[in-house]
Structure formats: structure tokens, C-alpha cells
């Protein structure tokens, strides 16, 4: 039996054109084509694998978040790596193209197109790798915040935004130093030393910024208040919306936003109104002399009984105070629970007490009463 073998002549693959073999050109074209065809499937696979380090989750549930945060940076990173591998197949051509420059300080300076290409690809690799890491931090933040909201963990809701910003800042800082050292050939240790010396001057110039930065960590560690708490500092009162590196944002009942430096939050006396179980209310009325002793006692007893009938009001006390030349004060104090029962408002309850005080004084008094004033102890002024 005779076997016939057909020998394919592949010697043409080693033919050299412009310092590169035909096989190098074919590999270059093949890598480019494969990259364009497979970049999306491979990027999707790597996206799913990389996200597994964040938490166990259902892929379909977070598919849109994954696509927005991780897919695109990983796809671009893969393209840069594959294009660099493809360009490396043409290294003989790229290294053969030399640029000559004359510099005053360094004399003649020669650089090849291959060196320029390597530095460009290295810069793009560092940039897209750093971007991918920061997007991964965003995705981990997205998952953890969702879990914290489900568990209503206010402490974690407060800490996670700061941790995310610090992680991204550190990642970009390392990326910048990597570019300076690898791409720009800067002496990074010497640069860091110089920045350390200059940092003293910067710290002195930005003393308030540094104080606010460390005050933020004091707030987060000591936890005098959290996001969502109602606090009062000086004459400023509002709900805490956000605790940042430099300042804390409050929103008052009128909708106005207060931006208070963190240093002021830790250096001044602060009242956390959300931690109270009750709030004390005082209604003060100035009464002119002329009411008899019996009428005054009867009015105070009736006022106490009628106020105690109101829902949510407790610990009613009525006293006399500030005996002036023409008037004296009738002080009505009572307690309201915090938070108030559903369907009740602070304004409504205070208004009822004011009307009751005014009507009883008008009925028992010989002369009209001076208009009623209200003092809300530990609560917003109304």
C-alpha cells in the first residue's frame, strides 16, 4: 500500500519584509481581530469573576450595576493588553524608527518609536487598571450600602461613604505615583521625601482643613450623632444629612441646608435631640393683677385637668413666676413623648394648650391677659 503525503511549503512565513517576518504580521493581525471579536465575552466573564470577591449575590439581580460599574473599564483594560501584545510582534519595525532631538542640557537625544509605544501602552494599562479598581470599590460600596439599608444599620450607612472615598483616593494616588515612576522615570522616593518636607508647609497653610479631616474621624469613632439624627449646635438645629471629610450638612425644618465644619461639631456643646425620650414644653402667659385668689386656684386646677385629657401629654405642672409691677406669669409645663404618636404634631398640641390657657384666663380674669408666649425646652421653637 502506498501512502501519499502532501507537504505544505510554509517557508514563506519566514520571509522578511521591513525587518519583520510574514508570521509576525499575521500574528499582529490575528491578535487584533481576536481582540475585537472576544473582548466583550471575556470582559463579561472577568466582570462576573471579579465581582465575586465583593459578596455572594445573584448575578441577574445586579446585572445592570455590574455593567455600569465594572464592564467598560475591564473591557478597555483587556484591549490595551491585547493591543500591546500585538504591537510587540512588530517590535523590529518600531525599534528601527529613531527620533533624534538636540537638547541644551543633555545634548543629542535619541528615542525609538518602540519606546514611545511601550510608554503609551504602559500609561494606558496603569490608567485603566486603576479605573477598574476604583469601579470595583464602587460596586462593593453599592452592595454593602444595599445590605446596610436592609438591616437599617445607621452606623454602617455613615461609615461606608467615607471608606469608599478614602479607598478611591488611595487607589488614584498609587496610580499617579506608578505613572510618575514607570512612565515619566521620576525618582519617586525622592519625590515623596520632598512632598514630606513640603507637606509640613501645606499642613500649616491648610490647618483648618486638616483639623476638619481628623474631626470627621472623631465623629465617626465617638458617634455623638449619626445621619438622620436631629441635633442642635448653638442656635443651629436640623437633621443630619451627611458627614463628609470637611463638613457636616444639616437640613432644618424650613428646608434650608447648613454646612458646618467638622471642627465646630466636636469643639462646641452639641445636643442630640433624637436621643431624648420626651421633650419639655412651657407655655408662659403674663396676667395683670386683679384676679382673686380663689379664681386663680380654680383656674389652675381646671387648666391642669383639661390639659391632662389631651393625648400624649403628661407631667403637667402649673406655677406662678416673675411678679412684676403690673403683671405676673402663669407658667404651664408639660411633657410630650419623642417621637410623637402617629397623627399628632408638635404644632397642633402646642396650639391647643395655648388656646386653652388664653380662654381660661379670659374667663377667670377681671382684665384681659397679655398674649401668650411659648418656651419649648429641648425642642424647636414654634
Number of domains in the chain: 3
Q: CB burial class (10 A; 0-12, 13-18, 19+) of residue 212?
A: buried
Statement to judge: residues 268 and 299 lie in one domain? no
Span of 97-101, 170-174, 309-313, 359-363 with lowest mean pLDDT: 97-101
In a shared domain, residues 167 and 313: no
CATH number of the domain that 216 lies in?
2.30.30.60
Residue 192 CA neighbour count, 13 Å, CB half: 10
- What is the C-alpha separation between 9 and 20, in angstroms, rounded? 19
CATH classification of the domain holding 353? 3.30.70.1150
What is the helix (H) or strand (E) element at residue 89, kind and residue range? Answer: none
- 104 burial via Cβ count (<10 Å: 0-12, 13-18, 19+): exposed
Cell (9 digits) for 53: 470577591
Nearest to residue 340, comparing CAs of 255, 271, 277, 251?
277
> What average pLDDT is seen over the chain?
76
Residue 38 lies in a domain: yes
**329 and 281 in a common domain:** yes
- Tell the residue number behind the cell numbers 438591616, with chain if given: 151
| Residue range(s) defining the domain that contains residue 47 | 12-189
pLDDT value of position 278: 76
Flag whether 195 is in a domain.
no
Strands 16-17 and 20-21 turn out to be antiparallel
Tell me: cis bond preceding 246? Omega within 30 of 0 counts. no
pTM of the complete model:
0.51
Q: Which residue has better confidence, 286 or 39?
A: 286
345 and 225 co-located in one domain: no
Does residue 74 sit in the same domain as residue 217? Answer: no
Do residue 223 and residue 240 come from a single domain?
A: yes
Closest-CA residue to 349 (of 340, 358, 362): 340
Percent above pLDDT 90 for the chain: 1
pLDDT digits (tens, 9 = 90+) for 54-102: 444 555 555 666 666 777 787 888 888 888 888 877 777 777 777 766 6
The three cell numbers of residue 138 are 464602587
Cα 286 to Cα 74, 140, 331, distances in angstroms: 74, 61, 9
Whether residues 223 and 174 fall in one domain:
no
Is residue 3 in a domain? no
Q: Both 175 and 284 in a single domain?
A: no
pLDDT digits (tens, 9 = 90+) for 220-249: 777 788 777 888 888 888 888 888 778 888
Q: What are the CA-CA distances from residue 259 to residues 237, 249, 255 (Å)?
A: 12, 5, 13
Helix (H, G, I), strand (E, B) or coil at 237: strand
Cell of 9: 511549503
Buried residues in 185-210 as b, exposed as e (16+ CB within 10 A): eeeeeeeeeeeeeeeeeeeeeeeeee
pLDDT number for residue 376: 54
Q: Tell me the pLDDT tens digit for each residue of 148-169.
A: 778 777 767 777 777 888 888 8
Tell me whether residue 202 is in a domain: no
Q: Could you give the C-alpha distances from 182 to 174, 178, 285, 342, in angstroms and in order?
A: 12, 6, 78, 64
The secondary structure of residue 273, as a DSSP letter, is: G
C-alpha to C-alpha distance for 47 and 71, rounded to whole angstroms: 6
User: What would you measure as the largest C-alpha separation in the chain, in angstroms?
Assistant: 140
Residue with cell 505615583: 177
Amino acid at each position: 500500500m502506498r501512502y501519499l503525503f502532501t507537504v505544505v511549503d510554509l517557508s514563506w512565513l519566514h520571509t522578511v519584509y521591513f525587518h519583520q517576518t510574514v508570521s509576525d504580521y499575521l500574528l499582529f493581525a490575528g491578535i487584533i481581530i481576536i481582540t475585537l471579536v472576544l473582548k466583550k465575552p471575556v470582559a463579561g466573564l472577568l466582570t462576573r469573576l471579579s465581582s465575586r470577591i465583593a459578596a455572594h449575590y445573584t448575578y441577574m439581580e445586579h446585572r445592570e450595576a455590574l455593567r455600569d460599574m465594572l464592564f467598560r473599564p475591564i473591557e478597555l483594560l483587556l484591549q490595551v493588553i491585547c493591543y500591546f501584545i500585538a504591537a510587540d510582534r512588530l517590535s523590529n519595525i518600531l525599534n528601527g524608527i529613531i527620533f533624534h532631538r538636540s537638547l541644551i542640557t543633555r545634548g543629542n537625544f535619541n528615542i525609538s518609536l518602540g519606546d514611545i509605544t511601550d510608554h503609551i501602552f504602559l500609561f494606558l494599562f496603569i490608567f485603566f487598571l486603576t479605573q477598574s479598581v476604583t469601579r470595583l470599590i464602587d460596586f462593593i460600596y453599592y452592595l454593602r450600602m444595599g445590605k446596610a439599608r436592609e438591616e437599617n444599620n445607621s452606623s454602617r450607612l455613615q461609615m461606608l461613604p467615607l471608606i469608599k472615598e478614602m479607598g478611591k483616593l488611595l487607589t488614584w494616588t498609587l496610580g499617579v505615583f506608578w505613572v510618575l515612576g514607570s512612565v515619566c522615570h521620576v525618582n519617586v522616593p525622592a519625590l515623596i521625601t520632598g512632598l514630606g518636607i513640603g507637606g509640613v508647609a501645606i499642613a500649616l497653610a491648610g490647618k483648618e482643613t486638616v483639623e476638619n479631616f481628623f474631626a470627621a474621624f472623631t465623629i465617626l469613632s465617638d458617634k455623638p450623632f449619626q445621619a438622620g439624627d436631629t441635633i442642635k449646635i448653638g442656635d443651629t438645629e436640623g437633621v443630619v444629612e451627611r458627614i463628609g471629610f470637611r463638613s457636616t450638612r444639616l437640613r432644618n425644618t424650613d428646608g434650608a441646608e447648613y454646612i458646618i465644619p467638622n471642627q465646630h461639631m466636636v469643639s462646641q456643646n452639641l445636643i442630640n435631640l433624637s436621643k431624648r425620650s420626651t421633650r419639655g414644653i412651657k407655655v408662659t402667659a403674663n396676667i395683670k393683677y386683679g384676679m382673686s385668689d380663689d379664681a386663680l386656684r380654680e383656674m389652675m386646677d381646671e387648666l391642669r385637668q383639661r390639659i391632662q385629657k389631651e393625648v400624649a401629654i403628661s407631667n403637667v405642672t402649673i406655677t406662678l413666676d416673675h411678679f412684676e409691677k403690673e403683671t405676673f406669669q402663669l407658667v404651664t409645663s408639660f411633657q410630650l413623648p419623642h417621637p410623637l404618636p402617629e397623627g399628632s404634631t408638635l404644632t397642633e398640641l402646642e396650639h391647643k394648650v395655648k388656646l386653652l390657657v388664653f380662654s381660661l384666663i379670659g374667663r377667670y380674669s377681671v382684665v384681659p391677659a397679655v398674649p401668650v408666649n411659648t418656651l419649648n425646652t429641648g425642642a424647636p421653637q414654634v
